[in-house]
Amino acid sequence: MAAHVISENAAEREDLVPVVLKIFGLYVTIMTVAYFVGNAIYQIP
């Protein structure tokens, strides 16, 4: 019983990795874009 639960959790964790990487990638992209946009807006005046 316990071994079955552990293997299920491992499978769920493997499915979770690409999702976490996608969210992290989106976060980094958004922060980078926001940084450059912020600098551009700051330099307009």
Residue 42 lies in a domain: yes
Q: Which structural domain range is residue 43 located in?
A: 14-45
> Does residue 6 lie within any of the structural domains?
no
DSSP 1-45: -HHHHHHHHHHHHHHHHHHHHHHHHHHHHHHHHHHHHHHHHHH--
Residue 9 lies in a domain: no
Residue 4 lies in a domain: no
Q: Which of 21-25, 32-36, 40-44 has the lowest mean pLDDT?
A: 40-44
Instruction: Return the pLDDT at 10.
Output: 72
What pLDDT is recorded for position 17?
A: 87
Q: Is residue 36 part of a domain?
A: yes
Residue 2 maps to a domain:
no
In a domain, 7, yes or no: no
- Would residue 45 count as lying in a domain? yes
Tell me the pTM. Answer: 0.57
Would you state the pLDDT for residue 2? 59
Q: pLDDT averaged over the chain? A: 85
Q: Which pLDDT belongs to residue 45? A: 73
Count of domains in the chain?
1
Q: Scanning the structure block, which residue is given the tokens 């499915």?
A: 15
* The residue to which tokens 């996608």 are assigned: 22
Q: What is the pLDDT of residue 40?
A: 92
